[in-house]
């Protein structure tokens, strides 16, 4: 069920009405759980059991880590993580292994290749792992222990709500238990931050429906073998457009998730912080998909040793973390290459800073920003064309297709629908400039109202054709 569909609007409306009925206050969490079950089952009813299994594993393992035999706490935590990963590896990477080894075992390969991909499995699995690991890590901290109810049914309800809350169920943000669980409790409609919800939802839906959905109708020309017919300029503009599209699509989803959660009285962490103004690769990963990069740093990079065991080990840890982070995005080797490309950039950047001094890189901010954006945009090609041979063919076409005709209409529309993303980032820079600070608050409020009015008008009149969020496939 897409966030942009009439069915979803109806689901949210009915849930909202029931949720805030005074007579049903004590049932608020069960109401949201029921809505989340319906939301997930609407698209993949045959795989609802897998979500329930994943939740059950986390209910049992986190409960036993606190209330089980003390000498087995570590065992329960390890089993919880292993079972979470086993589900993810089997269902998400089974088809990749099947395609890779089908020549040696045709029957097994065929079985694995035909496995269905559960929507959002990467997100709810990582969220479950964070619950189990944090429960083990803080099992002796009374403030955290109090979040794990001794009553097993109450604990089960809490964990199901934590993992299954529908705004973030299929595409995040990846929320940590110690951030979300303390928020669980009765909510009042008087406490809803209406202005925040309105602004966040309007901006999110604008980025998705007007920007991303219109751009996708033109970046579809990047599909193999159609791109081979277009000029080098057209191919470069298409790649630029896809960079704008993937940001608008995923940042739009994240904003919608934040706004929906706020409607029901809950807060999610910010997932994007204007990543295309980053002036270093490390800065980019502090701004792009923040919940994932934070998860990878805390649960993978630091446990591997981080930067505590020498320079060579630090570079290796960066590469391992980013390659695995790339594979998290999709079951294709091109995603691993994408992760390796980013890991290599991070390692080279760290090496340059250690060699020449970090102060050297404080200069040339514009040049560094353009370099980071160009590299990131080029790497997105591995997302758009998961078949690595098609990626190589696209790169060859950029070099060799100089004499072929331009797709003028596509170029014009891509530039047009990319302007809001560019303006969005520049508006952020302007907001934090001395010029912005000197303006009166009244003038700013008037401008804000006008801007959001225009965005709402464009959502109604100029939305593109409906399409699934890109990150639903991850």
Q: What is the pLDDT of residue 339?
A: 94
Statement: residue 442 has pLDDT above 50: no
Q: What is the pLDDT of residue 29?
A: 96
Q: Give the CA angle between residues 26, 39, 94 to the nearest 5°.
A: 125
Statement: residue 173 has pLDDT above 80: yes
How long a stretch of residues is the chain?
Answer: 474
Q: What is the pLDDT of residue 242?
A: 96
Average pLDDT, the chain: 89
Residue 89: Cβ-neighbour burial (10 angstroms; 0-12, 13-18, 19+):
middle
Q: What is the pLDDT of residue 358?
A: 67
Q: What is the pLDDT of residue 157?
A: 96
Which residues are known catalytic residues?
329
Statement: residue 109 has pLDDT above 80: no
Using CA atoms, how far apart are residues 263 and 76, in angstroms rounded to an integer? 36
| Residue linked to tokens 């009042």 | 188
User: What string of DSSP letters covers 283-303?
Assistant: HHHHHSSHHHHHHHIIIIIHH
| Residue linked to tokens 């959660």 | 261
- Among residues 358, 1, 352, the alpha carbon closest in space to that of 167 is found at 1
Over residues 198-229, the pLDDT tens digits come to 999 999 999 999 999 999 999 999 999 999 99
| Residue linked to tokens 């990467």 | 122
Structural tokens at position 263: 């409607």
pLDDT band at 441 (very low <50, low <70, confident <90, very high): very low
Model's pTM, two decimal places? Answer: 0.91
Statement: residue 437 has pLDDT above 60: no
Q: What is the pLDDT of residue 408?
A: 93
- CA torsion angle for 409, 410, 411, 416 (degrees, to 10)? 90
Q: What is the mean pLDDT of residues 119-146?
A: 91
Over residues 369-423, the pLDDT tens digits come to 999 999 999 999 998 998 889 999 999 999 999 889 899 999 999 999 999 999 9
Instruction: Compute φ and ψ for 289, nearest 5 degrees.
Output: 45, 60
Q: Which of 152-161, 182-191, 440-449 has the lowest mean pLDDT?
A: 440-449
Using CA atoms, how far apart are residues 250 and 253, in angstroms rounded to an integer? 5
CB 169 within 8 A of CB 40: yes
- What letter would DSSP give residue 212? I
Q: What is the pLDDT of residue 361?
A: 63
Distances (CA, A) of 456 to 201, 245, 248, 313, 423: 10, 19, 16, 50, 17
Q: Which of 118-122, 174-178, 444-448, 463-467 has the lowest mean pLDDT?
A: 444-448
Statement: residue 448 has pLDDT above 70: yes
Domain boundaries of the chain, sorted by first residue: 6-191, 194-473
SS (H, E, C) 148-177: CCCCHHHHHHHHHHHHHCHHHCCCCCCCCH
pLDDT band at 111 (very low <50, low <70, confident <90, very high): low
- Among residues 403, 214, 179, the alpha carbon closest in space to that of 294 is found at 179
Statement: residue 282 has pLDDT above 60: yes
- Among residues 33, 16, 37, 39, the alpha carbon closest in space to that of 187 is found at 16
Q: Is the dihedral of CA 334, 337, 342, 345 positive or negative?
A: negative
Q: What is the pLDDT of residue 164?
A: 92
Using CA atoms, how far apart are residues 200 and 254, in angstroms rounded to an integer? 9
User: What number of other Cβ atoms are within 10 A of residue 109's Cβ?
Assistant: 19
User: What number of other Cβ atoms are within 10 A of residue 4's Cβ?
Assistant: 20
Q: What is the mean pLDDT of residues 71-94?
A: 92
| Segments in 45-193 forming alpha helices (H) | 48-67, 73-101, 106-113, 121-137, 142-145, 152-164, 177-180
Q: What is the pLDDT of residue 447?
A: 79
Q: What is the mean pLDDT of residues 136-161?
A: 93
Over residues 306-347, the pLDDT tens digits come to 888 888 888 999 999 999 999 888 878 889 999 999 999 999
Give the rounded percent of residues in the chain with a pLDDT score beyond 90: 69
Q: What is the pLDDT of residue 439?
A: 43
Instruction: Compute φ and ψ for 295, nearest 5 degrees.
Output: -60, -50
* Residue of higher predicted confidence among 310 and 167: 167
Q: What H or E segment, with its residue span, contains residue 222? A: none
User: What number of other Cβ atoms are within 10 A of residue 154's Cβ?
Assistant: 12
Query: CB neighbours of 165 closer than 8 A, spacing ≥ 6?
Result: 32, 36, 261, 266
pLDDT band at 438 (very low <50, low <70, confident <90, very high): very low
For 298, left (φ over 0), alpha (ψ -120 to 50), or beta? Answer: alpha
Structural tokens at position 126: 């990582």
User: What number of other Cβ atoms are within 10 A of residue 110's Cβ?
Assistant: 11
CB 414 within 8 A of CB 219: yes
Over residues 291-301, the pLDDT tens digits come to 999 999 999 99
Structural tokens at position 94: 């089974």
């Amino acid at each position: 069920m897409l966030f942009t569909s009439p069915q979803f609007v109806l689901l949210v409306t009915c849930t909202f009405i029931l949720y805030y009925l005074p007579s049903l206050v004590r049932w608020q969490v069960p109401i949201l759980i029921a809505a989340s079950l319906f939301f997930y089952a609407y698209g993949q009813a045959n795989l609802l059991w897998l979500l329930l299994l994943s939740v059950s594993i986390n209910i049992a393992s986190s409960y036993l880590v606190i209330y089980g035999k003390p000498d087995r706490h570590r065992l329960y935590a390890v089993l919880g993580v292993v079972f979470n990963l086993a589900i993810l590896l089997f269902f998400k990477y089974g088809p990749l292994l099947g395609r890779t080894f089908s020549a040696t075992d045709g029957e097994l390969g065929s079985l694995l290749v035909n496995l269905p991909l559960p929507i959002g499995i990467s997100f709810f699995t990582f969220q479950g792992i964070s619950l189990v690991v944090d429960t083990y890590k803080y099992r002796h901290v009374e403030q955290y222990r109090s979040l794990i109810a001794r009553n097993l049914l109450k604990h089960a309800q809490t964990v199901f709500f934590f993992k299954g809350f529908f705004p973030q169920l299929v595409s995040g943000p990846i929320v940590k238990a110690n951030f979300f669980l303390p928020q669980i409790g009765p909510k009042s409609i008087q406490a809803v931050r209406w202005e925040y919800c309105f602004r966040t939802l309007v901006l999110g839906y604008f980025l998705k429906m007007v920007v991303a959905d219109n751009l996708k109708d033109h970046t579809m020309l990047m599909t193999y073998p159609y791109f081979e017919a277009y000029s080098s300029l057209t191919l470069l503009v298409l790649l630029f457009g896809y960079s704008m599209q993937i940001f608008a699509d995923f940042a739009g989803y994240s904003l919608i998730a934040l706004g929906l959660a706020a409607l029901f009285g809950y807060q999610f962490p910010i997932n994007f912080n204007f990543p295309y103004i980053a002036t270093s690769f490390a800065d980019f990963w502090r701004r792009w998909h923040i919940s994932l990069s934070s998860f990878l740093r805390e649960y993978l990079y630091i446990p591997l040793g981080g930067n505590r065991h020498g320079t060579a080990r630090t570079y290796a840890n960066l590469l391992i973390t980013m390659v695995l982070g790339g594979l998290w995005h999709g079951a294709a080797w091109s995603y691993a290459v994408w992760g390796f490309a980013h890991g290599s950039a991070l390692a080279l950047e760290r090496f340059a800073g250690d060699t020449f001094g970090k102060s050297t890189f404080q200069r040339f901010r514009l040049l560094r920003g353009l370099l980071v954006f160009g590299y990131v945009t080029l790497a997105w090609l591995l997302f758009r064309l998961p078949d690595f041979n098609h990626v190589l063919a696209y790169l060859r076409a950029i070099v060799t297709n100089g004499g072929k005709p331009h797709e003028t209409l596509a170029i014009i529309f891509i530039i047009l629908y990319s302007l809001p993303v560019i303006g969005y980032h520049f508006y952020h820079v302007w907001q934090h400039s001395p010029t912005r600070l000197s303006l009166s608050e009244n003038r700013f409020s008037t401008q804000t109202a006008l801007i959001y009015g225009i965005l709402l008008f464009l959502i109604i009149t100029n939305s593109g054709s409906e399409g699934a969020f890109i990150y639903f496939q991850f």
